[in-house]
Amino acid sequence: MHDILDKLGYEILFFDGAMGTILQGKGLLPGEAPELWNLQHPEVIQAIHASYLAAGAHIIKANTFGANPFKCQENGCAVEEIVPAGMRLARQAVEKAGRGAVALDIGPTGRLLAPLGDLPFEDAVEVFACMVRAGAPYADCILIETMNDLYEAKAAVLAAQENSRLPVFVTMTFDEDGKLLTGGSLSAMAAVLEGLGVTAMGLNCGLGPRQMVGLLQELREYTGLPLLVNPNAGLPQERDGCTCFDVGPEEFSKTMKELVEAGAWAVGGCCGTTPQHIAQTVRLCAGVRPGYTAPIKRRTVVASGIQAVEFGHVPVIIGERINPTGKARFKQALRENDIPYILGEGIAQQDAGAHLLDVNVGLPEIDECALMCRVVGELQSISPLPLQIDTSDPETMGQAMRMYNGKPLVNSVTAKAASMAAIFPLVQKYGGVVIGLTITEEGIPGTAEGRVQAAKHIIDTAAGYGIGKQDIIIDPLTMAVSAGQDAALVTLEALRRIRRELGVCTSLGISNVSFGLPQRDNITSAFFLMALADGLNAAILNPRSEAVMRAYRSFCALSGMDKNCMAYIEAYSQAAPVAGIEAGSAYTLRESIEKGLKEAADGATRALLREKSGLDIIDGEIVPALDQVGRLFEKKERFLPQLLASAEAAKAAFDVIKGSLGGQPSGQGKLTVVIATVKGDVHDIGKNIVKVLLENYGFHVVDLGKDVPPEAVLEAVERENAQLVGLSALMTTTVSGMKETIMLLRQKVPQVKIMVGGAVLTQEYADKIGADFYGPDAMASVRYAMALAEKW
């Protein structure tokens, strides 16, 4: 490491200040890339570097911030040209000054990563890797800065670590509420970056030094790593339509001193700062000794890209339902790639009070690795909860940990050598908290002592990989009490001893305790309470089990973990316990569907199944009810939300019948419909609405999602032997994607019918691009599909 960087922690180090805002003052045009000046005005760039070195900066940021392949391509230049040019200018400035270190400066790509955006994670890693390969030979360290998305920061860190051996610094941009623009929290950042093993982390841009003081103090609580701060010269002010920064060098430097005293080890400036700001800061802070203001706590913490969950305080609920074991419906969803069903299980658990979601998609006949990554990505786009990656396949574990947005809980490792050798390197590289099961080469120890020893072996072996106790949670294994009288007692004793003697957090999968017994919830919730009283930190369970959650919420209220009993009151103040839906719904099935009542439809269907066959219920009740609602919609007496509520109520009824038949009920199922939002368009709500309706009219719908290229539509039509294709586009500019798709389908599969819809489409346009049918609203497409099904 460069001798200046070696001083980190022994004396305060100084970064330089702004580049971009100074270039704007020198004539950089709106939208013009500052990095182009490395080639066009090298003397200007070098002079700016020199002025910061003269001001006393130790580390200067090369002018490479936005020189990623995307922006270089837009500007007609190459990363391999512009990055080294910028690096050389910084190097030359350092040589002339006779001192200083150079940071390869890496900013965000400007693109959002999939699945919320369209940039695949590995593409993002490669984009950053290009910059690292081009710049690392000239650099003393890599500064990944102004990141407002933890996921993108993770891609950049992996690229830096995999393509260089340089120290990696990461600073991110928070707003005054301590949130990233993507909604991520300081604690999530600390967990993820520390897990990835960066050299230092901190804050830059967005705010002035004043607003960063509180944030830095909070960050100090979350991490023991060195902290860096590069604030703007105050909050940006909009004046006369332009952005200005008002805090002068004097005031800036005084607050920078506060930041240093609050625990920052390296400080500098971002937008609006000048060599004067840095010079003044150096004068005021150079003599201050770096130090921590508070002792660093070792925290056991996992995170998503948005929020962190800490173990060791309020017991953590890990929802267990995303798991095919013993669930026919879930297995069917996995085989059919029915992602929405799996996501629905996640949301239901989140609503029921889960803090984390376990994800297990292992079935022998599927590609577990691909499906795991897809489910993890999709779940993270709809839920802020951190995930527990649950697989016995190390390859799947590695891939999922890599693309996971955050610091995951890893389920699991055992005390067996092979298991630890496979899992610990992954935790070491990607970061994570790992669940250690007390299983040895000989099996599950029958005694508490055996399980404590197994736990100790796991902890000791992990230490050899640099994995601390704070990143291990021990599960001393719940065994069925029906199979051994002392089974529960052994588990609980092991639990107490592991907490006391080894000082790690603990977790249990609790429901196994009641295996083989009637009314299992009685035993499960009583065991859960006993374990909680013994200090259990986390439990894997079904949060939709009311008995278990009742025990949990009561425990939290009674043990002083629920302030003013607020959580308890919130959960139970609507005192009316949910009446058994089967018992006495006031509505018939037809009424339930017409009114859009899911639970009532579920209950009414169960009652009806005692008298009628599933098919009779579909033909005699569900279809007529849906038809009635459809007619009212067409007469504009019902509106879209009501139509959808009815469809969902019908779906609840279908699900009950499906369950009773053990598969797909027939009906319109003979017609297969492939639907997609066309290439170039990412708006999928219209397509999703049509999908829900079609499914609930009994059609087999293959949903290809959004931004779907013509070739993928063709491939699905051929594979599924579909008779009908539905294409959606929202924007005028993407309707051309629709035309291309239709042309391809006409050429290759002329027999297939094509219907189109979307806000900007008209009958006239639909005719022009050669569609068979234009659906002005969702119901119209259902009617068209029904008419086709009759002819078929």
Start-to-end CA span in the chain (Å): 73
Number of residues that bind another protein (CB under 8 A): 68
Q: Which among 658, 639, 581 has a CA at the least distance from the CA of 329?
A: 658
Q: Give the bridge partners for 433, in sequence order.
A: 409
Which range, of 27-35, 88-96, 318-326, 504-512, touches another protein by CB under 8 A? 27-35
**CA neighbours closer than 13 Å in the CB half-sphere of residue 95:** 8
Q: Which among 461, 484, 481 has a CA at the least distance from the CA of 471?
A: 461
135-to-53, 129, 141, 231 alpha-carbon distances in Å? 20, 10, 10, 25
In angstroms, the CA 525 to CA 532 distance is 10
In angstroms, the CA 399 to CA 394 distance is 9
Smallest distance from the beta carbon of 242 to another protein, in angstroms?
6
300 binds another protein (CB under 8 A): no
29 binds another protein (CB under 8 A): yes
Q: Which is nearer to another protein, 109 or 388 (CB)?
A: 109
641 binds another protein (CB under 8 A): yes
Q: Which is nearer to another protein, 764 or 790 (CB)?
A: 764
237 binds another protein (CB under 8 A): no
Q: Two tokens at 328?
A: 């026919």
Q: 473: helix, coil or strand?
A: strand
Which range, of 110-118, 451-459, 583-591, 617-625, touches another protein by CB under 8 A? 110-118
Smallest distance from the beta carbon of 26 to another protein, in angstroms?
14
Q: Which is nearer to another protein, 10 or 639 (CB)?
A: 639
Smallest distance from the beta carbon of 272 to another protein, in angstroms?
13
Contacts of 622 (CB under 8 A, 6+ apart): 589, 593, 650, 653, 654
Return the ∠ at Cα 432 (arms to 431 and 435), rounded to 5°.
150
632 binds another protein (CB under 8 A): no
Among 110, 484, 516, 663, binds another protein (CB under 8 A): 110
Binding mask 31-60 for another protein (x = CB under 8 A): x-x---------------------------
Separation of CA 5 from chain center = 33
Q: Which is nearer to another protein, 182 or 280 (CB)?
A: 182
Residue 483: CB atoms within 10 Å: 9
Contacts of 270 (CB under 8 A, 6+ apart): 17, 18, 146, 204, 205, 230, 231, 232
Q: Which is nearer to another protein, 263 or 305 (CB)?
A: 305
381 binds another protein (CB under 8 A): yes
73 binds another protein (CB under 8 A): no
Among 69, 268, 269, 596, binds another protein (CB under 8 A): 596
Q: Which is nearer to another protein, 75 or 613 (CB)?
A: 75
Smallest distance from the beta carbon of 496 to another protein, in angstroms?
39
385 binds another protein (CB under 8 A): no
Q: Which is nearer to another protein, 140 or 602 (CB)?
A: 602
Return the ∠ at Cα 12 (arms to 11 and 18), rounded to 5°.
150
Q: Which is nearer to another protein, 148 or 300 (CB)?
A: 148
Region of 721 please: left (phi>0), alpha (psi -120 to 50) or beta.
Answer: left
Among 337, 588, 642, 664, binds another protein (CB under 8 A): 642
Q: Two tokens at 101?
A: 């270190």
Q: Which among 29, 116, 36 has a CA at the least distance from the CA of 79?
A: 36
639 binds another protein (CB under 8 A): yes
Among 348, 444, 502, 749, binds another protein (CB under 8 A): 348
Of 726-755, which residues contact another protein (CB under 8 A)? Answer: 731-734
Contacts of 663 (CB under 8 A, 6+ apart): 332
Among 51, 383, 399, 524, binds another protein (CB under 8 A): 383
Which range, of 233-241, 430-438, 565-573, 781-789, touches another protein by CB under 8 A? 233-241
Where do the H-state alpha helices sit in 299-352? 328-335, 339-352
Q: Two tokens at 369?
A: 């690795």
Q: Which among 219, 216, 198, 196 has a CA at the least distance from the CA of 208?
A: 216
Q: Which is nearer to another protein, 50 or 124 (CB)?
A: 124
- H helix or E strand, kind and range, residue 716: helix 710-720
Where do the H-state alpha helices sit in 317-447? 328-335, 339-352, 368-382, 394-403, 417-430
586 binds another protein (CB under 8 A): no
Binding mask 661-700 for another protein (x = CB under 8 A): ------------------xxxxxxx--xx--x--------
Using CB under 8 A as the criterion, which residues of the chain lie in contact with another protein when the complex forms?
29-31, 33, 74, 107-112, 116-118, 146, 148-149, 173, 179-183, 205, 238, 240-243, 340, 343-344, 347-348, 351, 381-384, 596, 636, 639-642, 644-645, 647-648, 679-685, 688-689, 692, 707, 731-734, 759-760, 762, 777
